[in-house]
Structure 1
Amino acid sequence: MTSRTPAGDAHPYLRAASAGVRHHTRALAPPDAAPPPPADRQHLDVLHAHLTALLHLLDRLAETTRPPHPAASRLLAAAHTRLWQATNEVHSAFHLLPTDTAADAEARTCRPERLPEGPPVLTICQRHLAAGHSIRRKTTPTDLRPHTTACAR
């Protein structure tokens, strides 16, 4: 098996994650197939995990970019805030979806001997609370207000 990334590529995992998201997007809407089913809770949980991982990456990039390039760091911090807003909306959508499937019923069953972190349905909330705590240490309520922008180019 050969890799398409150059030998000196410093970001192969990020490229693979981006390729995976693009593949999933294309697979959801093939041109000659019936419309895809609506999102379910498991799908939004996985998407939320991806978004929170991106939050951590943007946070770290903003921190390491700040000393040599403060203007670029401010833009990365703004992107971090906007990504948090998207993550927050995905979390809210997760809780608005119905929970009457057998998988969700199983997920709501707490078996501490099998799952020390609690029922799987709550892991999105634990992840979201941890990310929210991190966001609130670095931003103000004014920063978290809804944002609109127009491209200046």
Structure 2
Amino acid sequence: MTSSTRRDDAHPYLRAASAGIRHHARTLAPSDADSPKPVDRLHLDVLHAHLTALLHLLDRLAGLTRPSHPAAGRHLATAHTRLWQATSEVHAAFHLLPGTTEATAETSGCHPEGLPEGPPVLTICQRHLAAGHVVRRKTTPTDLRPHTTACVR
């Protein structure tokens, strides 16, 4: 017995994650009565976790697509590299924000044990280093250089 999946039923968790991001972006827009709140470390940590999960998904999709559709696989691999660059910038921004408690110059570096919040099970730094290891195994330093887009369509 085969189940037919309707197009709108495909990938429900990915659609839910996208809907959650859209909702979050809408709630960040200040109303007339509210002044915008600055982003905090916790916010960037959660965003970094989402980007890292998306990075792993994109890496997997590129690997699955490349054998049967090499050109599409290369585009997905390029998107993976660009997403890694965005993930790196979020990680850098995390360290430029003050911590929730006594943030000092020592805690602004990538030292999870010294974070003011204490070392959670998986800190942003540990997550970033693990993702970076995977990225660097599959890309060259030239691939990781800043990118400019020239659309050909």
For residues 35 and 101 of structure 1, what CA distance do their matches in structure 2 show?
A: 23
Q: Point out where structure 1 has 5 or more consecutive residues left out of the alignment.
A: 109-118
3-state SS of 1:120 partner: coil
Partner of 1:61: 61
Say if 2:92 is the partner of 1:92.
Answer: yes
Map 1:1-153; keep pairs closer than 5 Å. Answer: 6=6, 9-101=9-101, 105=116, 107-108=117-118, 119-120=119-120, 123-153=123-153
Over 3 Å off, 4+ runs: 5-8, 30-33
Aligned residues between the structures: 137
Kept in 2: contact 1:48–1:90 (CA 8 A): yes
3-state SS of 2:140 partner: coil
Partner of 2:109: none
For residues 37 and 7 of structure 1, what CA distance do their matches in structure 2 show?
A: 38
Q: Report % sequence identity.
A: 78
For residues 19 and 56 of structure 1, what CA distance do their matches in structure 2 show?
A: 19
CA offsets per residue over residues 61-112 of structure 1, 9 Å max, x none? 000001110000000000000000000000000001011438x74x22xxxx
Amino acid across the alignment from 2:26: R
Q: Displacement, 1:58?
A: 0.3
Q: Point out where structure 2 has 5 or more consecutive residues left out of the alignment.
A: 103-114
Give me the TM-score of the superposition, normalised by structure 2.
0.82
Give me the TM-score of the superposition, normalised by structure 1.
0.82
Partner of 1:114: none
Aligned CA-pair RMSD: 2.2
Kept in 2: contact 1:29–1:35 (CA 8 A): no
Amino acid across the alignment from 2:86: A
